Chain A
């Protein structure tokens, strides 16, 4: 019976794959192919709307060895969209295209969204942006001035100052994870900026991603020749630029950041987190969720729901294959600051000593599994998640697999990691308070 049913089902599936007409299904799984020996093409088909998203992802990020030597170039990645006459931007407007530039720890990316009917013209625009050598020098000057203003504005903001202080404490000055430690300053040597951009585009290991109302045959045609030929062999600068983390015994345990006019005290309790590949990472995911990763977390309950000391109390850490920062953050009225600091330490001590309960573990596991539906609403979501993993050299689905492992852990496994990780000797308490 099952095999009889399988035939029409297979026919229907094949028909759906081969037909680029509108369908009421969501985004499909990513398909990949080799555009050339240094470039991978990716497609996430979704024919619900006549929309297309394009991603160019370059395998060098702010934590790679390359940007420190060309740091201003990294900060100026989007300047290639700003030609002196504004012609590129005006073309993007005429094509009703969204064009955005980004960089993160492991990649530089260009993202474009447009209607399917405009895609050919948009790809011509993309080629022209990537070949632009006529950068607007005045925009560089304006950017440098506004960067200083933004920096000074940040120095009046407790969250900004806590973040800056934490990076200074936990990272060495030449570690990209510490940056920025001062306002960005972009060099005005246009030839140098464009040469650095050209290098970026030629690093091997690139991805050209499409999502939306396209077929594989169309995207293979569109991706061909979109990027210049890659360098061969790959340069050493593709590697990591990270420096060893500063050990806990080399940083203070308590730091106060004075700021004018604050009517509250802001807390950040920090240490190094675990990299994604660490065997303890899945347990830390569960532990953090229970401690400060949800509305009724241990911290939220102690500081918000019981006593109304704060509006927000949470904990979290950056997900990367490298060591990131683990942060517990909250704020409260000045008069309650000492009470709140004591409560943070008490919650941590109890958490470490007794661990989480089976009820908390099961709720966290249910949450992780159910949450996955939210990540598959649009084709761009699926594509971006896939590219995030691949830009870091991770297998497709690596994050989901890690979450699955987290959901399957036993209570004892999680609590053993909690005892190791939440050692107060590893943490530094930073307080931003009124001068």
Chain B
């Protein structure tokens, strides 16, 4: 049912956005296929430091608004894991003059939707609403940016809610548990090593004083970026934004920088056990540069060529041609300060660890021949990306997300509009160089995950499993 899906997807969406980074599926940064900045696009920095981007487009039936705060889970200190996400919940708690339901009630009455997500690098508030309801959204966002009501009762309630979210999303899901353990095992003390949802203990320890201090430090115009995409009059909207947000005081501090991921000291190997079904899973993890790096476009294309497509070369070699794994795939982590590309394989429990890694290593070595990288395959991949960017233009929400992502991941809002040109300029030589630099010439972190319990019969006669598994 449409209405039910909408409501539950709001819950699921928030959970998913928390879990996706854990899965490394944050994916490719979005862009657009416009040859240049689209007509009517406005980008302005208000005197109080708040950035404003407006993209008027009358073809959209809804207006997408994003308020992007430059503070995320990676800015948390040890002992406060999960705090930024908890604070995201508190932003829906009402203001000095508005009830806690006001923000939601307004969207609901108009058929709109609203949500938020906390990533390692940022916290983003999302509003999608038919045009008639948009004007009040700006008032509501400005109000909670400066007049948020923070009290003990609401904090305690949200701590309980967030803890239930954590239990459901991680504690009670074996795959999520093991992915969190793998992330922590590989990145150890790096701020990206802990899920934005945090830990139960740290959430329980959050005080109202700390909440108020955090709000005063980071939820200020200088750390905020307002993005609006949809059927709006750009100049008129900008006047409204200046009036509503421009009067807010410039204050607060920029959060401390996060160390780059590339070059971070990772252990050579991580071994894990979990309550999993009878399959052994292995990862080969390679660290990647940040989206702002000079070769970021070549790296993005490299990852797409290795991971995307129906005949992706890694799976074709390991599973289809050489038949050394039951399943294979890749995971991509893409954050502001770097990323990772992970080759995954799954085998039946009779296979041993050394053989599994040897087989994966041979496939990665085979990829080094670069048979998958031809002028034709690169051209096809570029067409695929172009289609993705063009398809994005149907949806105001996706365009708004893309503008925020480029601004805050690369530091250049204009990159939301020249993605097609940048991708189009990447050469096979650049992709090959990226493969050599980040994959062929470095040692990956090896992560090995095996089931906690393998039945004795499977241990002894597992090689027969393929014959009897459906008997």
Contact = CB atoms under 8 A, between A and B. Distances in A.
B320 interface: yes
Nearest to A373: B61
18 contacts: A86-B316, A90-B311, A94-B377, A94-B380, A96-B381, A148-B470, A156-B276, A288-B4, A289-B7, A293-B1, A293-B4, A295-B7, A308-B156, A309-B160, A311-B11, A312-B8, A312-B11, A370-B130
Given A311-B11, A373-B62, A156 B174 contact: yes
Interface string B275-289: 111110000000000
Contacts of B3: 285, 288-289, 293-294, 364, 367-368, 371
A48 B111 contact: no
B110 to A, nearest CB: 5
A370 B7 contact: no
Contact of B59 (A26, A150, A372): A26
A310 B164 contact: yes
Contacts of A95: 380
Looking at B174, B278, B380, which has the most chain A CB atoms within 10 Å of its CB?
B380
A49 B60 CA distance: 13
Contact of A377 (B101, B167, B394, B470): B394
A287 to B, nearest CB: 11
Nearest 10 CB-CB pairings of A with B = A370-B111, A308-B160, A316-B4, A152-B277, A89-B310, A96-B383, A378-B394, A96-B384, A311-B165, A371-B111
Looking at A25, A288, A292, A316, which has the most chain B CB atoms within 10 Å of its CB?
A316
Contacts of A373: 61-62, 111, 130
A6 interface: no
Interface string B359-398: 0000000000000000011001101101100110111100
Nearest to B158: A308
Given A24-B59, A94-B380, A157 B173 contact: yes
Given A90-B311, A93-B309, A366-B111, A144 B470 contact: yes
A86 B3 CA distance: 41
Contact of A51 (B112, B391, B395): B391
A29 interface: no
Given A94-B380, A113-B387, 13 more contacts: A86-B311, A89-B310, A142-B326, A142-B327, A145-B326, A146-B326, A288-B1, A289-B7, A294-B108, A295-B7, A317-B1, A371-B111, A374-B62
Given A114-B387, A370-B130, A374-B111, A317 B394 contact: no
A315 B104 contact: no
Contacts of B57: 24
B20 interface: no
B109 interface: yes
A138 B125 CA distance: 47
B217 interface: no
A297 B469 contact: no
Interface of A: 24-26, 48-51, 81, 86, 89-90, 92-96, 99, 113-115, 118, 136, 138-139, 141-142, 144-146, 148-150, 152-153, 156-158, 183, 185, 260-264, 285, 288-289, 292-297, 304-312, 314-319, 331-333, 363-364, 366-379, 399, 403
Contacts of A93: 309-311, 377, 380, 384
B49 to A, nearest CB: 32
Contact of B172 (A51, A185, A263, A317): A263
B323 interface: yes
Given A93-B311, A370-B130, A295 B390 contact: no
Interface residues of B, number: 80
Chain B contact surface mostly: helix
Interface in B127-159: 128-130, 133, 156-159
B391 A378 contact: yes
Given A93-B309, A369-B111, A374 B387 contact: no
Interface string B425-438: 00000000000000
Looking at A139, A306, A310, A375, which has the most chain B CB atoms within 10 Å of its CB?
A310
B243 interface: no
Contacts of A285: 1, 3
Contacts of B276: 153, 156
Contacts of B466: 141, 145
A310 B161 contact: yes
Interface string B1-29: 11111111011000100000000000000
Contacts of A260: 275
Interface in B389-420: 390-391, 393-396
Nearest to A158: B172
Contacts of B113: 374
Looking at A26, A141, A263, which has the most chain B CB atoms within 10 Å of its CB?
A263
B387 A332 contact: no
A92 B380 CA distance: 10
B293 interface: no
Given A146-B327, A377-B395, A305 B157 contact: yes
Contacts of B162: 311
Contact of B161 (A25, A296, A308): A308
Contacts, number: 231
Contact of B167 (A113, A185, A264): A264
A136 B319 CA distance: 13
Nearest to B12: A312
B167 A333 contact: yes
B269 interface: no
B250 interface: no
Contact of B104 (A51, A295, A364, A370): A295
Contact of A295 (B10, B309, B376, B393): B10
Looking at A263, A264, A312, which has the most chain B CB atoms within 10 Å of its CB?
A312
Nearest to A376: B61
B168 interface: yes
B380 A96 contact: yes
A48 B160 CA distance: 47
Contacts of A317: 1, 4
Contact of A363 (B109, B164, B171, B348): B109
A285 B160 CA distance: 31
B58 interface: yes
Contact of A293 (B7, B156, B320, B323): B7
Contacts of B327: 142, 146
A293 B4 CA distance: 5
B330 to A, nearest CB: 15
A285 B157 CA distance: 30
Contacts of A51: 387, 390-391
A144 B4 contact: no
Contacts of A368: 3, 111
Contact of A316 (B8, B157, B163): B8
A422 to B, nearest CB: 16
B164 A264 contact: yes
Contacts of A89: 309-311
A361 B267 CA distance: 58
A434 to B, nearest CB: 10
A50 B111 CA distance: 30
B376 A49 contact: no
Contacts of A294: 3, 6-7, 108
B1 A319 contact: yes
Nearest to B6: A371
Contacts of B108: 294-296, 363, 366-367
A42 B54 CA distance: 36
Given A93-B311, A366-B109, A115 B387 contact: yes
B41 to A, nearest CB: 15
Contacts of A139: 320
Contacts of A136: 320
B244 interface: no
